[in-house]
């Protein structure tokens, strides 16, 4: 092959790999925008924000205490997964249950509910505006269904469990009914 062609070929390869490398870098850059600041009230009645959990992983689930099935299942899985972690790993995570039904889920109700699933579990409630804000930030979803007038409504809601990093950034999320052992394995690998 003539020398000039070899040089031209090398130049093309260098330019192409630079372009590919650059596009990979830029495509990595927009991090998934899930999560963000929140202000809510915990199950002890204390006003808290996301900053209170900075430095720890957060395992966040949205639901409500009257939920007949989905929430107890999801929160039991979180509790079981945490039960499978060693003490050092467990210390790095805060499990958080955020209600999407703040009108019924009072501080007192949250306080009687969350310890059923894990003694580290934090229950967060607040005003409807605060709840809507955090639900939106996490790209979660909820909607009341049924008879709102007599209080016999249910709330449809998304049922992913979000893992957020010590810096507050999204790490991953778990689909509903992920086996506890799988969740525990992922947590142990990540921390
Ligand atoms: Ni539920």
- First-to-last alpha carbon distance for the chain, in angstroms, is 53
| Element of type H or E holding 21 | helix 3-28
| pLDDT tens readout for residues 135-170 | 999 999 999 998 777 778 999 999 999 999 999 999
Rounded Cα distance, 76 and 122, in Å: 14
Given a cut of 50, is residue 1 above it in pLDDT?
Answer: yes
Residue 85 Cα to ligand 1 midpoint, Å, equals 25
- Supply 42's token pair: 């915990």
| pLDDT tens readout for residues 30-82 | 567 999 999 999 999 999 999 999 999 999 999 999 999 999 999 999 999 99
Short-list 61, 72, 68, 62, CA closest to 153: 68
Task: Give the DSSP letter of residue 165.
Answer: -
Which of 11-15, 133-137, 139-143, 170-174 is predicted least confidently?
A: 11-15
3-state secondary structure of 81: helix
Residue 90 Cα to ligand 1 midpoint, Å, equals 25
Rounded Cα distance, 38 and 161, in Å: 17
Q: Using a CB cutoff of 5 Å, list residues around ligand 1, an ion.
A: 63, 67, 70-71
- pTM reported for the whole predicted model: 0.83
Rounded Cα distance, 104 and 125, in Å: 10
């Amino acid at each position: 092959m003539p020398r000039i062609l070899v040089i031209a070929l090398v130049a093309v390869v260098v330019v192409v790999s630079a372009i590919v490398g650059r596009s990979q870098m830029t495509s990595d850059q927009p991090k998934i925008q899930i999560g963000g600041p929140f202000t809510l009230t915990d199950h002890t009645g204390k006003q808290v924000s996301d900053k209170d959990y900075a430095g720890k992983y957060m395992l966040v689930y949205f639901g409500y205490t009257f939920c007949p099935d989905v929430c107890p299942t999801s929160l039991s899985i979180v509790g079981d997964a945490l039960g499978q972690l060693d003490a050092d790993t467990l210390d790095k995570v805060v499990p958080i249950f955020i209600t999407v039904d703040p009108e019924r889920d009072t501080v007192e109700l949250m306080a009687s509910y969350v310890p059923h699933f894990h003694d580290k579990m934090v229950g967060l409630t607040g005003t409807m505006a605060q709840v809507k804000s955090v639900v939106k930030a996490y790209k979660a979803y909820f909607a009341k269904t049924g008879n709102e007038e007599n209080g016999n409504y249910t709330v449809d809601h998304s049922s992913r469990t979000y893992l957020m990093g010590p810096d507050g950034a999204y790490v991953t999320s778990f689909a509903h009914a992920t086996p506890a052992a799988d969740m525990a394995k992922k947590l142990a690998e990540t921390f």
